A and B are shown apart, each in its own frame.
Chain A
């Protein structure tokens, strides 16, 4: 049940991420100065925290979304299975997010 409401919350967070992406492309179109300023804002501690949470939401929404698609074809409905896949989605999302950001930091991009 928690996965269900988290799935919705994550979706809303990703929607915010899409708006941030829209701003990024808008700034790119506007010129070098606006673009550099926009990217600079994303690189502040607050900006990076927001991006970190959005990628976490995205990985979780992806993993949980696969659960939903599995249910759509009729698989994984037993309560025990559903609980197990819910935990798998949480843990997978958290792990992949950590790896993603670790790789970004290691590559010097952050």
Chain B
């Protein structure tokens, strides 16, 4: 017996992207979450337009608003990072450039999401410069 691997083991990791099912599921699940969160965010944005600094802070002081905004930001950057990953994988041919861009994609999304969540929590808990 030369190869003890199962057929599944042999099949895993083939193809240009190497893995895909997790990406597919993650993209769809975050999409469904955003089907609810994005309209809420747009509605909130429309509501907050024209409000001054203090009223916006008051809006964010509500834990429900803060939570929904955090969820929208996390789902949005996760979904967007997955989408950008597909674009990079599809259009960048050179292996080194593609790898660098994929890493950059993850870092930018993670950094932007972290910064945004921290600012939301900061304002919601009453911190930040007043």
- A36 to chain B minimum Cβ distance, whole angstroms, is 6
* Cα(A95)–Cα(B3), bound, Å: 60
User: Is residue A90 within 8 Å, beta carbon to beta carbon, of the partner chain?
Assistant: no
Residues of chain B with a CB closer than 8 A to A87's CB: none
* Cα(A30)–Cα(B128), bound, Å: 6
User: Is residue A84 within 8 Å, beta carbon to beta carbon, of the partner chain?
Assistant: no
* Cα(A21)–Cα(B56), bound, Å: 14
User: Is residue A91 within 8 Å, beta carbon to beta carbon, of the partner chain?
Assistant: no
Report whether B73 and A8 are in contact in the complex, using a CB–CB cutoff of 8 Å.
no
The 0/1 profile, CB within 8 Å of B marked 1, for residues 64-80 of chain A is: 01101100100000000
* Cα(A69)–Cα(B29), bound, Å: 10
Q: Which B residues, 90 to 130, have Cβ-Cβ distances below 8 Å to chain A?
A: 112, 115-116, 119-120, 122-123, 127-130
Hey, which bits of chain B sit against chain A, CB under 8 A?
A: 28, 31-32, 35, 38-39, 42, 46, 49-50, 52-54, 56-57, 60, 69, 73, 76-77, 80, 83-84, 86-87, 112, 115-116, 119-120, 122-123, 127-130
Could you list 13 further interchain pairs (A-B, Cβ under 8 angstroms) beyond the known A15-B80, A100-B42? A18-B73, A21-B73, A22-B112, A28-B53, A28-B123, A29-B122, A29-B123, A30-B129, A36-B53, A55-B42, A62-B39, A100-B46, A109-B46
